Structure 1
Amino acid sequence: MNFKDSLPIYIQIKEYLCRQIITGKLEPNQMIPSVRNLATQLTVNVNTIQKALRQMINSGLLVTKRGEGNYVTSDKKLLEKIKRDMIVAEQRKFVQNMKSIGITPKQTHLILANHLK
């Protein structure tokens, strides 16, 4: 994984894992890799992984089973909410990027319409 300097690594890891869940690469009730495995896989400190997972547990996206590990929630409403939130965040980023380079909302709409053809 290539990390950006503009965003804390633990947030990027959280976003990465959320994408894995939203796209079905990690399914509801599936156990996620251990903290150590994720740290090795992503080449980051164990504490960084723990911080990302703690936030995901606090939000309900991950469920900890004592002595077993962390699992993706089976709460379909929460999973849909997380997906909607990610869509809105991506839309905001896109629109802000277009504005920052001088593209009007109308031009943005046309660009998207042409791209989707």
Structure 2
Amino acid sequence: MKFDDKIPIYIQIKNYLYRRIITGDLQPGEKLPSVRQLAVDVTANVNTVQRALSEMLANKVIESQRGKGNFVTADEEMISNLKAEVVHKQISIAYEELHSLKLTDEEIIKEFQQYIHDRSAQNA
């Protein structure tokens, strides 16, 4: 995993795992790899991975089962809410960037529509 120097590594690891959960790569109720294995997989310090997992536990996105490990929550509504939160955050980032270029809301919508149209044409 490549890390962005501007964002704390534990947050990037947490976001990486959130994306894996949202996309279904990690299913509800599925056991996560051990902390040590995750550290190897993402090339990060074990303590950094543990910090990411601790936040995920606090947010109830994952659950810890004593002696068994960490598991993705089985609460599909929680996962749906997580997806909505991540999508909203990404849209917010894009919106703020485009708005700083002095684009109006209508221009931003038009640009997004054109982008989606062009992408669809490329993939056809």
Q: Percent identity?
A: 38
Q: Which consecutive segments of 4 or more residues in structure 1 shift more than 3 A?
A: none
CA distance in 2 between partners of 1:38 and 1:11 (Å):
14
CA distance in 2 between partners of 1:96 and 1:69 (Å):
39
The aligned counterpart of 1:15 is: 15
Q: What residue ranges of structure 1 are gaps of 5+ in the alignment?
A: none
Shift of 1:105: 1.7
1:29 aligned partner, one-letter code? G
2:82 aligned partner, one-letter code? I
SS in 1 for 2:70: strand
What's the TM-score once normalised by structure 2's chain length?
A: 0.90
1:12-68 Cα shifts (integer Å, max 9, x gaps):
100000000000000001001110001111111000000000000111110111111
The aligned counterpart of 2:25 is: 25
- How many residues align? The count is 117
CA distance in 2 between partners of 1:5 and 1:97 (Å):
20
Shift of 1:100: 2.5
1:87 aligned partner, one-letter code? V
CA distance in 1 between partners of 2:39 and 2:7 (Å):
18
1:59-108 Cα shifts (integer Å, max 9, x gaps):
11101111111000000111111111111101100101112233222211
Q: What residue ranges of structure 2 are gaps of 5+ in the alignment?
A: 118-124
1:94 aligned partner, one-letter code? A
CA distance in 2 between partners of 1:116 and 1:45 (Å):
39
